[in-house]
Amino acid sequence: MKRALTVGDLGEEALIRRIARWVDPPPENAVGIGDDAAVLSRPRGAQILTVDVQVEGTHFRRAWTRPEELGWKALAVNVSDAAAMGARPEAALVSLILPADLEVGAVSGLYRGFRRLARREGLVLAGGNLARGDRVSVTIALTGRPLGRRALLRRGARAGDRLFLTGRPGLAALGLHVVKDAVGEGGGDLWRAATAPAARERRDRRLGGGLRRRAAARFLRPEPRVATAAALLPYRPRALIDTSDGLSRDLGHLAGAGCAPVIEADRLPLTRAFRTAVAGLGADAEALALSGGEDYELLFALPPREATRLESSGTLAGKVVSRIGVMESRAKGVYVRREDRTERLPDTTFAHF
């Protein structure tokens, strides 16, 4: 008997494409499946909607992250989706799946993290849902409004557009390695009151200082770039996305009709300290910067004149911004140019299936 096709056989991207066929197309002037958030047309202007989940064992472990850190991160990844649409977050709904034996103090910690970021971004925690399960799962749905006249989409880049990135690629991926190293075997439970203080002290001590600690912070407590997106609007970006899945994969989402992104390897903003730290892991700095996810920086395409204007500044809302490549008339894919050689990159980024 023929074996049934599984989601693992199909893969994440192909499954998303099938889901898009299984639902009705969005109404006119709306954006459905395929961008960082959905966009609906409303009498008072466009509204964006997004949802994301953090699942124990897939996205986090209790030995790695405190409840407050997970609460912040779970909300931050949704706020980052709003920023990637050039939008301001307005309200969020929180759905929790919790084991019955989870300490109430851990749930309180989650809400401390939610509340701190919500207050900073000026959004409302409007409600949610509770259910029992074997593992902790945090799902957040978020609404928002475009900062400008319309939401910004992934698609729209043209051949000749310059590609820019805020921040330093690969920092969160390095942070994941640092946190794993800090926890080691028997790292303790940061969620259980009886063991959390000692486990946290051990983790934080072993994180070290300098770049290691900054990288761990980027992984555990990402910073969504809403203010940076607002500062970007005057430059009229043609395409915008946040780097959640890995730089090379997210670049692939920017590809337009008849054009593809080409990374100029010597322009990647990789510091000497980053290269040294990654080499200490036995890894390649450029490969980690291209494939590592969860940086939640902004990646965007600008027309040449606006690109020149931004390059003369070098920052957006106080955040470093670097030109890393160009859109060229090429077959679909993501390419990297080293000196006079241009090659297509294999997809080595994380996928759920």
What's the CATH number where 119 sits? 3.30.1330.10
Q: CA distances (Å), 33 to each of 16, 23, 28, 125, in order?
A: 8, 9, 14, 25
Going by pLDDT thresholds of 50, 70 and 90, the confidence category of residue 313 is confident
Going by pLDDT thresholds of 50, 70 and 90, the confidence category of residue 350 is low
Per-residue 3-state assignment (H helix, E strand, C coil) for 129-169:
EEEECCCCEEEEEEEEEECCCCCCCCCCCCCCCEEEEECCC
The yes-or-no verdict on residue 161 having pLDDT over 80 is yes
pLDDT top residue among 235 and 42: 235
> Which residues lie below 8 Å from residue 68, measured CB to CB, with a gap of 6+?
109, 110, 112, 113, 116
- Note whether residue 81 is domain-resident: yes
Domain that holds residue 26: 7-146
The yes-or-no verdict on residue 8 having pLDDT over 90 is no
Please give the pLDDT value at position 141: 98
- Note whether residue 335 is domain-resident: no
Average pLDDT over residues 24-48: 83
Would you say 72 and 115 are in contact if contact means Cβ atoms under 8 Å apart? no
Where on the phi/psi map is residue 286: left (φ > 0), alpha (ψ -120 to 50), or beta? alpha
Sheet strand arrangement including 137-146:
38-42, 45-55, 137-146, 87-98, 124-132
Q: Report the C-alpha gap between 214 and 186 in whole angstroms.
A: 24
Predicted TM-score (pTM) of the model is 0.92
Query: Which has the closest alpha carbon to 140: 82, 189, 86?
Result: 82
Would you say 160 and 327 are in contact if contact means Cβ atoms under 8 Å apart? yes
- Note whether residue 26 is domain-resident: yes
- Note whether residue 87 is domain-resident: yes
Q: Alpha helices, DSSP H only, in the chain?
A: 7-10, 12-22, 67-84, 104-121, 171-183, 196-207, 210-220, 226-232, 247-253, 272-279, 285-291, 304-313
- Note whether residue 124 is domain-resident: yes
- Note whether residue 103 is domain-resident: yes
- Note whether residue 62 is domain-resident: yes
Measured at the alpha carbon of residue 178, what is the angle toward residues 133 and 50, in degrees to the nearest 5?
45
The yes-or-no verdict on residue 270 having pLDDT over 90 is yes
Amino acid letter for position 335: Y
Query: Residue holding tokens 């969504």?
Result: 224
- Note whether residue 173 is domain-resident: no
Average pLDDT over residues 101-114: 98
Going by pLDDT thresholds of 50, 70 and 90, the confidence category of residue 351 is low
Q: How do residues 202-244 score in pLDDT, each as one tens digit?
A: 999 999 899 999 999 999 999 999 999 999 999 999 999 999 9
Q: Report the C-alpha gap between 120 and 1 in whole angstroms.
A: 57
Q: Report the C-alpha gap between 147 and 235 in whole angstroms.
A: 13
Instruction: Give the single-character DSSP code of 60.
Output: B
Going by pLDDT thresholds of 50, 70 and 90, the confidence category of residue 348 is low
Average pLDDT over residues 16-25: 86
The yes-or-no verdict on residue 19 having pLDDT over 90 is no
What is the domain count for the chain? 1
